[in-house]
Amino acid sequence: MKPQRFALTPGEPAGIGPDLCLLLAAQSQPHPLIAITSCDLLTERAAQLGVAVSLISVTPAAWPDVPAPAGSLYVWDTPVNAPVVAGQLDKANGSFVLETLTRAGQGCMDGHFAGMITAPVHKGVINDSGIAFSGHTEFLAELTHTEQVVMMLATGNLRVALVTTHLPLRDVADAITVERLERVTRILHADLVNKFGIARPRILVCGLNPHAGESGHLGREEIDIIEPTLARLRSEGLDLYGPLPADTLFTPKYLEHCDAVLAMYHDQGLPVLKYKGFGAAVNITLGLPIIRTSVDHGTALDLAGTGKIDAGSLRVALETAYQMAETHS
């Protein structure tokens, strides 16, 4: 595969994102990887960690076409608003985090990057800065003018996509509409084909209620919404199986014969996936006109600057973005 440029955003500057970037620099990547962050921040964190790394400043005026040598990292310098102390949040840097995401996302839209990989942000401190922010997924949807996106996490051969994401549990049932379920299912199917190269993906669909509603005795969402929607999509050729009770769907009997699971809400599907592969999983945003992958963990403020971190999830996110770009190209 011809080398393509990718953007890397370190997320919350007081968290482990900068540390992860520095760990990645120890080994050469197969593609030019551009960290969009503050050179001063990385220099200070490298000194704190005792890591020797050469930071190579780059700009849109002269993007590199070859990977950085081992022990070095390309950086598109994006200054922080306030000094950063590892482990200590500062709302003054909320707009800095969003600027790095904007540069990466717009760079993908403009064709400068084949995809973007994101380290974790801290939603609370961005909101404390006076900026309404519900997450990477929603921010990138707005940036790219995308009406509907889908969150999917993957580890090994298990992929779990979500019909709803960051909603209070009491709001989930009302959010499971025919329109939303149909849009999400179509996006999941299309991106499994176009970005993962699966010719005819088989998707297992969870029910919303315990025992998938128990024939209506434990809720009617399966009967009134989920089953009719899946039947209509099957008539168009989509390979969908369900709705199945979530407590038995995640067993080898079913999983070994599927390409993805569609869960109705966040804590229905993700606990299983993270139990299986936490630290080696990747978060993927489907439905965007760009490729975006991310780590499966948070900012880990207590570990920032300590050197006691594992870059496994970020490496999986990188590898997944590279593979998706090759399939999508």
Write down the pLDDT at residue 3.
Answer: 65
Longest dimension (CA), the chain: 64
Distance in angstroms (rounded) separating the CA atoms of residues 130 and 278: 32
* Model confidence at 185: pLDDT above 70: yes
State how far the Cα of 255 lies from the Cα of 95, in Å rounded to an integer: 42
pLDDT of 36-60, one tens digit each?
Answer: 999 999 999 999 999 999 999 999 9
> Which stretches does DSSP call E strand in the chain?
6-9, 33-37, 54-57, 72-77, 115-118, 150-155, 158-162, 202-206, 239-244, 260-263, 282-286, 292-294
The residues of the chain that CATH labels 3.40.718.10 are 6-146+288-327, 150-274
91 has binding-site annotation: no
Per-residue pLDDT, 132: 86
Residue 137 assigned as binding residue: yes
**Is 292 assigned a ligand-binding role in the annotation?**
yes
Q: Which pLDDT score, from 0 to 100, does residue 138 have?
A: 87
The predicted pLDDT at position 234 comes to: 98
CATH number at 150-274: 3.40.718.10
Domain boundaries 6-146+288-327, CATH class: alpha beta
Find the DSSP H helices in 176-311. 178-194, 221, 227-234, 246-249, 252-255, 266-277
The response to whether 122 counts as a known ligand-binding position is no
Rounded distance, CA 188 to CA 191, Å? 5
Q: Known binder of ligand: residue 145?
A: no
Please state whether beta strands 54-57 and 150-155 pair in parallel, antiparallel, or not at all (unpaired). Answer: unpaired
Q: Residue 222 region, left (φ>0) first, then alpha (ψ -120 to 50), else beta?
A: alpha
283 is in an annotated binding site: yes
H-type alpha helices, 214-306: 221, 227-234, 246-249, 252-255, 266-277
